[in-house]
Amino acid sequence: MNKPDQHSPGGPWDTYKRFPSYEEANMARLKLLEETEKMQVKVKWMAKTDTYAVKTRSDPSIEIERLLQEKRELKKKRKQRLQKKRRKK
């Protein structure tokens, strides 16, 4: 578990829709979870507007895997360039 002073990894949360009651917001959250497995969905109380917001973001594990794949591709390209330089000598 994360400590209270640490924030969870992942991208920013986007507001999907606002609802006047928690029950409506939770129903929308459950519907979104059924439709997409690669998303995180939460219900957040917005005190300023007295509404509940349903917020979404892509799953951080997918984002981490994408970044690792990009890093591997860059490493592979660097290695190929180095091999070409060694062959020329």
In the chain, where are the structural domains located? 12-58, 59-89
Residues 6+ apart with CB under 8 A from 29: 41, 42, 43, 54
In tens, the pLDDT along 24-69 reads 999 999 999 998 878 889 999 999 999 999 999 888 777 778 888 9
User: 10 Å Cβ neighbour count for 29?
Assistant: 21
- pTM assigned to the model: 0.60
Residues 6+ apart with CB under 8 A from 22: 43, 45, 52
Angle (CA) 76 80 86, round 5°: 145
